[in-house]
Amino acid sequence: MQRLQAFKYELRPDGQQERQMRRFAGSCRFVYNKGLALQKERYAQGEKKLGYAGLCKLLTEWRNNAESAWLADAPVHPLQQALKDLERAYSNFFAKRADFPRFKKKGQRDSFRYPDPKQIKLDQGNSRIFLPKLGWLRYRNSREVLGALKNVTVSLNAGKWFVSIQTEREVEQPVPQATTAVGIDMGVTRFATLSDGTFYAPLNSFKRHETALRKAQQAMSRKTKFSNNWKKAKARVQRIHSRIGNARRDFLHKTSTAISQNHAMVSIEDLQVRNMSRSAAGTTEQPGRNVRAKSGLNKSILDQGWFEFRRQLDYKLAWQGGWLVAVPPQNTSRSCPCCGHVSADNRQTQARFECVGCGYENNADVVGALNILARGHRVAACGEDVSRARPARATYAASVKQEPTEATHCDSMSQ
């Protein structure tokens, strides 16, 4: 089994390297934005979108042009990768996986990527890495890099520089240690409820830090822009942001690791987080309902990182030899796992489930998880190929298409 893995370390650049990295990230942003502006212009004039090769040709022109000759100071591969990212942003947009590409701003995900392993040297013994036009960079060596180096991304977060080393290696097809199957119901009051009754509290890291963040932002807005005090205030805002991110990542990793180690098959609702997190306000023709409540829910969903959680579950299960099944979410909270009766009356309160057909009682989230597990078993038994696919984004279309199959070939209790 081919295993792709990224190893991330904090860099310890000297002043010169730090200035260079800022410059390179800026050049990549410039190229990305210039490419995007150009594509928009072509579209407005009714011309066809330029492909990656066409954009790369233009990049050469820009690097030779006196007006933007400073681009030639940056390594060429990362600049091309910026154009590749733009290509991907466009295809994600056309495939309805993402919104229309936006211009990049300074200070938001400053990064650049070296795609060619031949130009990179990794010296783990001395905790240093060689990157084109930057030379040898020291990094905080916290663990060994395994596998063959594929590419390297350098990024800036809250004033610190990081290097992420992507590798590939052949590992033995793992045999799952666990044998159990479990369903997961994702929620706002409980982050995740398992069909065996265990549950994980909500993270709400953002809420906890929200006040601190707001105060820091207000303090920053009172300072004169670009003054020393403004810079200090800005650094504080960034620190709170990164603390929130760290706490969230830590929580998600711990939770997804625990679940993937304890179970061989995990069934999860195929929620489209992106649609749910879309503007709840709707359009002028179709104004959204419950706008305030929905945007509250949306904020919680994003805050808790459901997407990231599913992504982690997917690859961690694969590493353990297990698998993730994404199932259609309809009626999972309203069907009785005992007699199959479907009714909104089954769920009198948010927390309590009581079947009006047979009287079965349980916690509503556990009932949801049980239904998701049952559906996962059916999906697996029917041979529907939604298992190893990416959760959410990629599989959604598949499971929607396959839902009728499920209903006709299986004795579906959700109907």
Which residues are designated catalytic? Answer: 185, 269, 365
Phi, psi values for residue 20, rounded to 5°: -60, -45
Task: Name the strand (E) or helix (H) holding 341.
Answer: none
Quote the least distance from Cβ 339 to Zn ion, whole Å. Answer: 3
Tell me the C-alpha to C-alpha distance, in Å, between residue 136 and each of 29, 132, 345.
Answer: 24, 9, 66
Interacting span for Zn ion (CB under 5 A) from 103-111, 121-129, 233-241, 354-362: 354-362
Exactly one of 21, 355, 372, 386 binds Zn ion (CB under 5 A); that residue is 355
Q: Nearer to Zn ion by C-beta: 355 or 389?
A: 355
Neighbours of 46 (CB within 10 A): 6
Closest to Zn ion by CB, 29 vs 334, is 334
Instruction: State in angstroms the smallest separation of the CB of 334 from Zn ion.
Output: 11
In sequence order, the β-bridge partners of residue 121 are 130
Contact map string, positions 314 to 343, toward Zn ion, x by CB under 5 A: ----------------------x-xx-x--
Of 22-30, 173-181, 264-272, 359-367, the window that binds Zn ion (rule: CB under 5 A) is 359-367
Q: Which long-range contacts (CB under 8 A, 24 or more apart) does 293-299 make?
A: 297/188, 299/206
Q: What is the closest distance, in whole angstroms, from the C-beta atom of residue 406 to Zn ion in the complex?
A: 21
Tell me the closest approach of the beta carbon of residue 269 to Zn ion, in angstroms: 21
Q: How far is CA 12 from CA 127, 128, 163, 164, in A?
A: 10, 9, 10, 14
Task: Give the interface size with Zn ion as a residue count (CB under 5 A).
Answer: 8
As measured in angstroms, the least distance from the Cβ of 360 to Zn ion is: 5
- In angstroms, rounded to a whole number, what is the distance separating the alpha carbons of residues 204 and 157? 21
Among 351, 358, 397, 407, binds Zn ion (CB under 5 A): 358
> Least distance (Å) from Zn ion to the CB of residue 335?
9
Q: At 148, is the secondary structure helix, strand, or coil? A: strand
Among 8, 357, 390, 405, binds Zn ion (CB under 5 A): 357
Q: Which is nearer to Zn ion, 178 or 338 (CB)?
A: 338
155: which strand partners?
Answer: 111, 162
In the complex, the smallest distance separating the C-beta of residue 100 from Zn ion, rounded to whole angstroms, is: 46
SS (H, E, C) 104-124: CCCCCCCEEEECCHHHCEEEH
Residue 256's nearest CA partner among 188, 197, 306, 331 is 306
CA-to-CA distance for 55 and 72, rounded, in angstroms? 16
CB-nearer residue toward Zn ion: 362 or 387: 362
Residue closer to Zn ion by CB (options 273, 355) is 355
SS3 per-residue string spanning 73-93:
HCCHHHHHHHHHHHHHHHHHH
- CA quadruple 179, 351, 244, 92: dihedral sign: positive
Output 10 or 354, the one with its CB closest to Zn ion: 354
- CA 257 – CA 111 distance, rounded (Å): 28
- Asked whether position 413 contacts Zn ion by CB under 5 A, the answer is no
Q: What are phi and psi of 321, to 5 degrees?
A: 90, 5
CB 265 within 8 A of CB 325: yes
Residue nearer to Zn ion on the CB measure, 355 or 392: 355
Dist CA 299 CA 295 (whole Å): 6
Q: Which of 52, 162, 319, 360 binds Zn ion (CB under 5 A)?
A: 360
Residues that bind Zn ion (CB under 5 A): 336, 338-339, 341, 355, 357-358, 360
